[in-house]
Amino acid sequence: MVKVTAAEVNNLRKKTGAGMMDCKKALVEAEGNMDKAIEILRKKGQKIAEKRADRDSSEGAVVAKLNDDSTRGVLVSLNCETDFVAKNDSYKEMAQKIADIAINVNSKEELLAADFDGMTVEEKLIEQTGVIGEKIEIGGFETLEAPFVGSYIHGNKIGALTGLSKAIDNAEEVGKNVSMQVASMGATTLSYKDFSSEYVANETEARIAVIEKDNIELGRLGKTLKNVPQYISRAQLTDDVLAKAEEAAKAELKAEGKPEQIWDRILPGKMERFISDNTTLDQEQCLLDQNYIMDDKKSVAQYVADQNVEVVGFKRVSLA
């Protein structure tokens, strides 16, 4: 049996991150050859990876990386099986190093094929699967380019990037604030203007059907029924629809006996409520149309307009 030194074992451990005993066994099997020992550990990782291929890897770390002039950003999630592994400092360091590599590639496939200390990223993940004993993989991968890109990471589990139209003085703060909105509220598109009329029509029909079904049960229980909206998106609120809503509001004020001279003070609030009640799809899915989480009296669109900048794009990656 070949004897290996503690220095050799420690050297292999530094190169692979494997445990001391695994390194010693690999070196003995490789008769002291460092490259063969690394290959032995890699093959061990492949076997474990094959066995754990069907495991759920919903834990891990989401990392953001920006280039030096903040005109390009990348989000990467390094997924594993347990929160215990995800919280390990060496795991977080590996995730950050992968993000450092990812800033220079354009796809998940390119990332997996990129160099990681003499091996590919994909090979590194297989190796670390053997070291850690859990399925490890790249989950989410997103890139964004803009005149200025800001980022935000929430609890290492959700990451967001926001592209701004220009690099204003407080661009980093604005980019972070809007990215926080993206991370928290999970918008899927920038504006209601991005929706197709077919999508809005189908979504309206589906939502009304759900509410009407709920109301049958609520009525049976003698509880207050939910409001059934006519519309769910600003895309449906044409000038004609808004004009009719205003006339209905005026009729309501008249029926309530409100003096006509004060209607102008009341109508704006009623119209805002009408729009809010009939744009639920926009508030859920459209970043610019959502209420701004740090000041719900404003929409995100109003917040960025106050900063004299526009949002030109965003990306989001989540472990869940």
CA atoms within 13 A on the CB side of 44: 21
User: What pLDDT band is residue 67 in, cutting at 50, 70 and 90?
Assistant: very high
For residues 320 and 245, the model is more confident at 245
> Does 19 score more than 70 pLDDT?
no
The answer to whether the CB of 91 falls within 8 A of the CB of 85 is yes
Residue 112 and residue 120 in contact, taking contact as beta carbons nearer than 8 Å: yes
The pLDDT of 162-174, averaged and rounded, is 97
Query: How far apart are alpha carbons 296 and 277 in whole angstroms?
Result: 15
Q: For the stretch 47-76, what's the b/e string if a residue is b when 16 or more beta carbons lie within 10 angstroms of its beta carbon?
A: ebbeebeeeebbbbbbbbbbeeebebbbbb
- Pairwise pLDDT comparison (53 vs 124), residue with the higher score: 124
Comparing 47-56, 134-143, 259-268, which segment has the lowest mean pLDDT?
47-56
* Per-residue confidence (pLDDT) for residue 294, from 0 to 100: 94
| pLDDT of residue 42 exceeding 80 | no
Q: Which residue intervals of the chain are DSSP H helices? A: 6-16, 20-29, 34-51, 83-86, 89-102, 108-113, 121-132, 171-185, 197-220, 239-255, 263-277, 280-285, 300-306
Give the per-residue pLDDT at 296.
87
Q: Hey, what domains does the chain have and what are their CATH numbers?
A: 6-51 (1.10.8.10), 59-183 (3.30.479.20), 192-311 (no CATH)
The whole-number average pLDDT for the span 46-64 is 77
- For residue 226, the 8-state DSSP code is P
Q: How much is the pLDDT for 6?
A: 79
Mean pLDDT of 296-318: 95
> How much is the pLDDT for 117?
87
Q: What pLDDT, on a 0 to 100 scale, did the predictor assign at position 103?
A: 97
Q: What is the pLDDT of residue 193?
A: 94
For the segment 70-95, what is each residue's pLDDT rounded down to a tens digit? 999 999 999 998 999 899 898 999 99
Instruction: Identify the pLDDT of residue 297.
Output: 87
Structural contact between residues 180 and 152, judged by C-beta atoms closer than 8 angstroms: yes
Rounded distance between C-alpha atoms, residue 10 and residue 240, angstroms: 76
pLDDT confidence tier of residue 135, bands split at 50, 70 and 90: confident
Exposed/middle/buried for residue 253 (C-beta within 10 Å: 0-12, 13-18, 19+)? middle
Q: Tell me the average pLDDT across 290-315.
A: 95
User: Which residues does 237 contact at the CB level (< 8 Å), separation at least 6?
Assistant: 231, 275, 278, 279
How confident is the prediction for the chain on average, in pLDDT?
Answer: 90
Flag whether pLDDT at 49 surpasses 70.
Answer: no
Let me know how long the chain is. Answer: 320
Task: Give one DSSP letter per residue of 93-161, joined into a string.
Answer: HHHHHHHHHHTT-SSHHHHHHSEETTEEHHHHHHHHHHHHSS--EEEEEEEEE-SEEEEEEETTTEEEE
pLDDT tens-place string over residues 184-217 = 999 999 999 999 999 999 999 999 999 999 999 9
Mean pLDDT across the stretch 284-307?
Answer: 94
Lowest pLDDT segment from 32-41, 71-80, 141-150: 32-41
- The average pLDDT across 228-244 equals 93
Looking at per-residue confidence, does 30 or 102 come out higher? Answer: 102
| Alpha carbon distance 304, 64 (integer Å) | 22
- CA dihedral over 274, 276, 280, 286, signed as positive or negative: positive
* CA–CA separation, 113 and 122 (whole Å): 6
